[in-house]
Amino acid sequence: MGNKNQYSRPSEFYCQRPIITSDSAYNYVGHNEISEGAIDRFIFYLYCRQNGVWINEVTGYDPIKDKSQLLIYNPVSNITTEYPPTLLLHGTSDTDVPYEQSIIMNERLKRAGVKSEILIINGAEHLFDKNFNNLDVKNAFERVVAFLKTYI
């Protein structure tokens, strides 16, 4: 789940953006559960990260009081020998998920005997794939295709 306080406190990175109000955030997602939506739903994510309420808003759990219930959502806490082969792609400049989390996941998967590979892209952000003309992105997707061909 990353740094245990990372999503439970306001993000310095996201607080540098224009501040989003609660009303504005909920105008983009409403009050019902959704599984798909326009990119505008990022406004809700931005609001949550600016206010340190992401975990509570998404799960309904308090990240401190309900820590044990949250473990079911934490992939690194749920690794078994049945875990599928995994390819992790991560940018070193990711402001949403520290790339060290992928390193930890990769190590734990291997320790459990699960086939796991990791591709770290130096300087890449969370949405590193938005520039498909970037050579690192092209190479990453070539590795994804090769991985899928091998394991599916």
pLDDT in tens, 79-132: 999 999 999 999 999 988 889 999 999 999 999 999 999 999 998 888 888 878
First-to-last alpha carbon distance for the chain, in angstroms, is 27
The owner of tokens 């079911």 is: 72
How does pLDDT run across 30-87, given as a tens digit for each residue? 777 767 767 778 899 999 999 999 999 889 999 889 989 998 888 999 999 999 999 9
Lowest mean pLDDT among 5-14, 88-97, 114-123, 139-148: 5-14
Residue 8 pLDDT > 80: yes
Cβ neighbors of 79 (< 8 A, separation 6 or more) are 108, 109, 112, 114
Q: Cα 101–121–7 angle (5° rounding)?
A: 35
Give the model's confidence band at 1: pLDDT under 50 very low, under 70 low, under 90 confident, else very high: very low
Q: Read off the pTM.
A: 0.80
**Residue 87 in contact with residue 117, Cβ under 8 Å?**
yes
Structure tokens, 32: 């019902």
